[in-house]
Structure 1
């Protein structure tokens, strides 16, 4: 059986996966990019160069994940399933085994825990700021002392969450 190179293998696949080629031969690098490889590493590979390549792949997956994420979810309210648009969701407030989902123009009371709600929300968009509150980062207007201003509401920030809150809202591009 003839020897098959990685480039030959890529040529046989209709929808190739994300590929990083590691080779000792620089002359194949341009050929690899014809097949839309993510990166081409020349042996021996330094740790810094390897890490740069891993970060590049990670960034691509994060971009694809964002486009795949839904901007809504359904919750059971009484006998109905109600659609909640994440862009309209301001914050979620815990009341023992219930949560109140506060939206721009309305609110829903749902029989679930704050932890269950938080686990089903995209972590890049929602942040727990207190044991009883999760906020949509996009709707934070300001922070003053130990309070967030979300819409027309004042949300407390717990001392244990304050550093994380400041770090998270500082990294977000509004």
Structure 2
């Protein structure tokens, strides 16, 4: 069996030993460990991983700064003894779960299953101007010019066209990956917009006619790039 590459970013030796021991029991990971912020930067710059365990407080640095510095990261499981940090992770798309230290084995397994199942094989066929996306057992054609926005709906998504919404078999994370970025942009953990349908914006919202969609905190820095396409 080909093992998945896992990176532990943690500055506590006790936490490293505990997590590493539990991961080795599963026998599915090739484990690397970064013990400080600069080591983590080096690891992430020079290698690719299937899963990351991230401690938020790394001495004088924040682990979340790594997330901002490396926007294309694999699923991340945050580990922290401070549950208040969970709020800071909510709108960050690459973070799939938060585990309170000390890490419980049963909780860890559930979190890993959630993270590794997140990016599923696409149920869609994407073309230049349209996509066939599965709805139940059938595939429906969506012309890109007809889509206003997409809303996360658990492990599924709702695609809005004019005044109609359709639940499709894809997660919003998968749709963000497969849909053309020049047409569709993520503005929030729960929303993707068709750039051509945006009729207005302010510092906290995007408007599509009478519909008001929130701009997520972690997406605010990218909003200027989005505005260039409006």
Interval containing the TM-score (normalised by the shorter chain): 0.5 to 0.7
Choose the corresponding residue for 1:90, options 112, 123, 148: 148
Choose the corresponding residue for 2:197, options 106, 124, 139: 139
Helix, strand or coil: the match of 1:87? helix
TM-score in terms of structure 2 length: 0.43
Does the 8 Å contact 1:148/1:155 carry over to 2?
yes
Q: Computing the radius of gyration over CA atoms, which structure comes out larger, 1 or 2?
A: 1
Aligned partner of 2:164 in structure 1 is 106
Does the 8 Å contact 1:77/1:109 carry over to 2?
yes
In 1, the alpha carbon distance for the partners of 2:166 and 2:137 equals: 13
Aligned partner of 1:128 in structure 2 is 186
Shift of 1:151: 3.2
In 2, the alpha carbon distance for the partners of 1:127 and 1:97 equals: 19
Q: Where do 5+ consecutive residues of structure 1 fail to align?
A: 1-68
Q: How does 1:37-76 map to 2 (within 5 A)?
A: 70-76=128-134
Q: Which runs of 4+ in 1 moved over 6 A?
A: none
Q: How does 1:1-12 map to 2 (within 5 A)?
A: none
Does the 8 Å contact 1:90/1:151 carry over to 2?
no
Helix, strand or coil: the match of 1:145? coil
Shift of 1:105: 4.1
TM-score in terms of structure 1 length: 0.56
Aligned partner of 1:153 in structure 2 is 211
How big is each residue's C-alpha offset from its partner over 1:80-134, in whole Å with a ceiling of 9 and x where there is no partner?
2110010010111002101000112422101221111111110111110000101
Q: Are positions 1:77 and 2:135 aligned together?
A: yes
